[in-house]
Structure 1
Amino acid sequence: MQNHYPIWKNLLILSVFLISLIYSLPNLFGEDPSVQVSSTNALTQEQASKIEATIKTSGVTSKAFEFKDGRILARFANTDDQLKVADLLRDQMGNDATVALNLAPTTPAWLQNIGADAMYLGLDLRGGVHFLLEVDMDAAVKQAEERYTEDLRLALRDAKVRYLSVAKDGGFIKLKLKSAEDKTPVFNLLAKDFRGLKVTEPNEQDQIWLKMSEVDVREVKKFAVAQNMTTLRNRVNELGVAEPVIQQQGENRIVVQLPGVQDTTRAKEILGTTATLEYRLVDIEHDVQKAVEGHVPVGSKLYFDKNKSPVLLDKRVIVTGDQIVDASSGMDQDGRPAVFISLNGVGAAKMGKLTQANVGKPMAVVFIENKVETKVVDGQKVRHKEKIEKVISVATIQGVFSKRFQTTGLDSPQEARNLSLLLRAGALAAPIDIVEERTVGPSLGQDNINKGVLSFVVGFVLVVLLMAGYYKVFGMIADVALAFNVVIVVAILSMLQATLTLPGIAGIILTVGMSVDANVLIFERIREELRNGNSPQSAIYMGYDRAFATILDSHVTNLVVAIVLFAYGTGSVKGFAVTLIIGILSSMFTAITGTRMVINWIYGNRRVEKLFI
Structure 2
Amino acid sequence: MRKNLTQKTILIIAVLLVFVFGIIGLPSGLSGKALKASLLKRISLGLDLKGGTHLVLQVMVDEAVNAATDNDVSHIQSDLQQNGITGATVTKPDATHPETLAINGVPLDKAGDLRSLLESRYGSEYDLHSGASGSFTLTMKPSAEADLKSRTLQQAIDVIRTRVDSLGVSEPVIQEYNLGSNQILVELPGVDDPGRVRDVIQSTARLEIHEVMGGPWPDEQAALQALGGAVPYDSVLLHTAPGASAPGSGNDVYQIRKTAEVAGTDIRDAQSSRNPNTNEPEVVFYLTTAAGNHFADFTAANKGKSLCVVLDNKIQEVATIRDQIRDQGTISGGGITEQQAKDLSMLLRTGALPASIHYLQESTVGPSLGADSIRQGVTAAVMGMLAVMIFMLVYYRGAGINADLALFLNLVILLGFMGYTGSVLTLPGIAGVILTVGMGVDSNVLIFERIREELHAGKSPAAAVDQGFAHAWTTIIDTHVTTIVSAAILFLFGTGPVKGFAVTLTFGLLANLFTAVFVSRVIFDANLNRKQRGEAISI
TM-score (norm. length: structure 1): 0.73
**Residue 46 (structure 2) aligned to one of 122, 127, 136:** 122
Distance 2:482 2:329 in 1: 59
Looking at structure 2, the residues matched to 438 and 588 of structure 1 have their Cα atoms a distance apart, in angstroms, of 39
- Which deviates the most, 389-398 or 465-474? 389-398
- In the alignment, is the contact (CA less than 8 A) between 2:409 and 2:515 conserved in 1? yes
Q: Does 1:367 align with 2:313?
A: no
Percent identity of paired positions between Structure 1 and Structure 2: 34
Specify the code of the residue in structure 1 equivalent to 2:4. H
2:228 equivalent to 1:299: no
The answer to whether the 8 Å contact 1:393/1:409 transfers is no
Match of 1:520 in 2: 445
Matched, 1:196 2:139: no
Distance 2:200 2:332 in 1: 22
1:117 maps to a residue whose letter is K
Of 95, 103, 110, 1:175 maps to 103
Partner-residue secondary structure (3-state), 1:366: strand
Asked if the contact 1:410/1:416 (under 8 Å) is kept, the reply is: no
Q: 1:437 is matched by which residue type in structure 2? A: E
Task: Encode CA deviations 1:374-401: one digit per residue, 9 max, x unaligned.
Answer: xxxxxxxxxxxxx534336655563655
Relative to its length, the structure with more helix (as a share) is: 2
Cα deviation, residue 464, structure 1: 0.6
Give distance in 1, aligned partners of 2:37 and 2:421.
19
- In 2, distance between residues paired with 1:342 and 1:496? 39
Cα pair 2:406 2:520 within 8 Å, conserved = yes
Match of 1:355 among 296, 300, 316: 296
User: Which amino acid letter does the alignment assign opposite residue 226 of structure 1?
Assistant: Q
The whole-number CA distance in structure 1 between the counterparts of 2:366 and 2:332 is 42
In structure 2, stretches of 5+ residues that fail to align are: none
Aligned match of 1:5: 5
Q: Which amino acid aligns with 2:290?
A: A
* TM-aligned CA deviation for residue 236 of structure 1: 1.6
Shift of 1:442: 2.4
In structure 1, how many angstroms separate the alpha carbons of the residues matched to 2:34 and 2:266? Answer: 41
Whether the 8 Å CA contact 2:299–2:321 is kept in 1: the answer is: no
Equivalent residue number for residue 164 of structure 2: 236
1:37 paired residue number: none
Counterpart CA distance in 2 for 1:510 and 1:393 is 67
Q: How many angstroms does 1:337 deviate by? A: 5.2
Distance 1:272 1:109, change over 3 A: same
Deviations along 1:423-470, whole A, 9 cap, x unmatched? Answer: 223211111122433222223223332332233223212211111112
Match status 1:210 vs 2:138: yes
**How many angstroms does 1:579 deviate by?**
1.2
1:29-61 Cα deviation digits (max 9, x unpaired): 9xxxxxxxxxxxxxxxxxxxxxxxxxxxxxxxx
Instruction: Give 1:341 deviation, angstroms.
Output: 4.2
Residue 52 of structure 1 corresponds to which residue in structure 2? Answer: none
Whether the aligned pair in 2 keeps the contact of 1:319 and 1:350 (CA below 8 Å) is: yes
SS at match of 1:275: coil
Is the 8 Å Cα contact of residues 20 and 491 (structure 1) preserved in structure 2? yes
- Picking from 479, 482, 486, the partner of 1:561 is 486
The offset of 1:537, in angstroms, is 3.2
- 1:108 Cα shift? 6.3
Could you tell me whether the CA contact under 8 Å between 2:308 and 2:315 is conserved in 1?
A: no
Change (3 A) 1:575 1:154: farther
State how far apart, in whole Å, the 1-side matches of 2:301 and 2:409 are: 74
1:154-553 alignment, distance < 5 Å: 154-157=78-81, 159=83, 161-171=85-95, 172-194=100-122, 195-203=124-132, 205-246=133-174, 247-248=176-177, 249-281=179-211, 293-294=226-227, 298-301=233-236, 303=238, 306=244, 307-309=246-248, 313-324=256-267, 326-330=269-273, 339-341=283-285, 348-356=289-297, 359=300, 361=302, 364=307, 366-369=309-312, 387-391=313-317, 395-396=321-322, 398=324, 401=327, 405-409=328-332, 412=336, 413-553=338-478
CA-to-aligned-CA distance 1:129-173 (integer Å, 9 cap, x gap): 223323334433322321221232344455555453323332443
Which structure has greater strand proportion?
A: 1
Change (3 A) 1:263 1:418: closer
Superposition deviation, residue 515 in structure 1: 1.1
CA distance in 1, matches of 2:272, 2:494: 41
* Structure 1 residues 551 and 435: CA distance shift in structure 2, 3 A: closer
Letter paired with 2:405: V
Report the Cα distance in structure 1 between the residues aligned to 2:16 and 2:494, rounded to whole angstroms: 31
Give the RMSD, CA atoms, in angstroms: 3.5
Name the CA distance, whole Å, in 1 between partners of 2:493 and 2:233: 50
Q: Compared with structure 1, are the counterparts of its residues 311 and 498 closer, same or farther at alpha carbon in structure 2 (3 Å cutoff)?
A: same
Whether the 8 Å contact between 1:125 and 1:448 is mirrored in structure 2 is yes
- CA distance in 2 between partners of 1:27 and 1:151 (Å): 62
Residue 472 of structure 1 and its aligned partner are, at CA, apart by 1.7
Give distance in 2, aligned partners of 1:325 and 1:552: 55
CA contact under 8 A between 1:327 and 1:421: conserved in structure 2? yes
CA contact (8 A) 2:71 2:259 kept: no
Tell me the alpha carbon deviations over residues 333-369 of structure 1, each in whole angstroms, 9 at most, x when there is no partner.
Answer: 77775545466xxx64354345346535357452322
Partner deviation per Cα, 1:310-330 (whole Å, 9 max, x = no partner)? 765433223422454543333
How far off its partner does 1:516 sit? Answer: 1.4
Change (3 A) 1:263 1:153: same
C-alpha distance in 2 between matches for 1:394 and 1:302: 19
Higher mean alpha-carbon deviation, 409-418 vs 144-153, is at: 409-418
* In structure 2, C-alpha distance between the alignment counterparts of 1:3 and 1:551, rounded to whole Å: 28
Matched, 1:576 2:506: no
CA contact (8 A) 2:266 2:291 kept: no
